[in-house]
Structure 1
Amino acid sequence: MGNREDLLVAAKRCLYEKGYARTTARDIATAAGVSLAAIGYHYGSKEALLNAALQQAIEEWGGDLARLLTSEAEAGLAGDRFARTWTKVIDSFAATRPLWEVQFELLAHIERTPELRSTLADAHRQARLGLAELFGYDAAYDERRALRMGAFYQVLLGGLAAQWLADPAGALSGSDLLEAMRTVLTENDKTL
């Protein structure tokens, strides 16, 4: 690996260990074994490097999740597949806890950091399309609908991640989520 790649790996490690706000340029340079000037040369700023590292971490999680969920394409009732899929998503939080902690931390900084808002907005749009695809909708067919469906899944994902971070034992399971959705639809069927 070259300095650029070393910096990206080091920035991701620092994000996970120290968080976004507490990571310094010196932390990253030291972890990468390069000079401070290398950050500016390769990425322009510490923030741009951290944003690139976060984007890569989110993409890696998405790829890992896609591989994990591939088996969910198997036959079975839609509700059972839904519950199994969300159980796997929830289980993935344990392995990626630092990624979720950093993402929630960043929400506190988003108003003061326009480039961070832009990075997260781009990441969320891609995540919506990816989630729609993971759950069986082809964005090439109707991208607007895929974005809407992906946003729904993203709401579930973010809420479940927040619950899991605060209280892993009390967070919903995939089966709990399915039962709650069925109840909401049944109870509100008269008004929908």
Structure 2
Amino acid sequence: MGNREDLLAGAKRCLMEKGYSGTTARDIAAAAGTSLAAIGYHFRSTKALLNAALIEAMEEWGKEVEQTLAADASLSDAPAQRFEATWTRIIESFARLRPLWAIQFELIAQMDRLPELREAFAAANRQARLGLAAIFENLDPGADERKAMAVGSFYQALLGGMATQWLVDPDHAPSARDLLEALRTVGARLGPQ
């Protein structure tokens, strides 16, 4: 690994241990085994490095979700089983990646003061919606982007809501089975299209 990669890895470790606001340039340089000057050389600023590290960590989580769903692809003929299995794995990831979720909520509260991060989050959110629609429902955004965006927004809202509940009160947050039961209840009340 070069200094740039070492800095990204060190920044990700610091983000997980100290959060966004609690991480300093010295923390990152020490974790990466590089000089402070390397941050400026490769990223111009500590904020730019932290933003890049956070986006990379979120992308890694997204790839993990994709792999999770691929592992459950054998259940494609049983959508309810696939839904429950997938959400069980996603909920398990909340425990492993609690700091990543906490950081996102920390930053959402500061979005008005971090316009560069707002732009990055907004772009990532748009991509995430389309990705979630493709992953969960096999919707091709090229065929019907409006529908894919709407379905992806639903899954994104569910994901964010579950993360919130899990961060605040993991012992009483809904399980995957609870989500499935709730979705069935809501769907039954809505009736057929």
Normalised to the residue count of structure 2, the TM-score between the two structures is 0.92
Counterpart in the other structure of 1:68? 68
- Counterpart in the other structure of 1:111: 112
Counterpart of 2:122 in structure 1 is 121
Within 2, Cα distance between the matches of 1:152 and 1:129? 11
Poorly superposed stretches of 4+, deviation over 6 Å: none
Partner of 1:55: 55
Which amino acid in the other structure matches residue 147 of structure 1?
A: M
Where in structure 1 are there 5+ consecutive unaligned residues? none
1:56 counterpart SS class: helix
Amino acid at match of 1:61: W
Instruction: Measure the CA separation in 2 of the matches of 1:57 and 1:46.
Output: 16
Asked if 1:7 is matched to 2:7, the reply is yes
User: Residue 18 of structure 2 corresponds to which residue in structure 1?
Assistant: 18
* Structure 2, unaligned runs of 5 or more: none
What is the SS of the residue equivalent to 1:74? helix
1:15-164 → structure 2 map (5 Å cutoff) = 15-75=15-75, 76-135=77-136, 136-164=138-166
| Structure 1: distance between partners of 2:191 and 2:181 | 15
CA distance in 1, matches of 2:114, 2:51: 11
Give the alignment's Cα RMSD to 1 decimal: 1.6
Report sequence identity in percent. 59
Q: How far has the Cα of 1:170 moved from its partner? A: 0.8
- Larger RCO (CA under 8 A, 6+ residues apart): 1
Aligned length: 191
Q: What's the offset of the Cα at 1:140? A: 2.8
Give the drift of 1:187: 2.9
Structure 1 residue 4 displacement after superposition: 0.7
Q: TM-score, normalised by structure 1?
A: 0.92
Higher deviation after alignment, 161-170 or 134-143: 134-143
| Partner AA of 1:46 in structure 2 | T
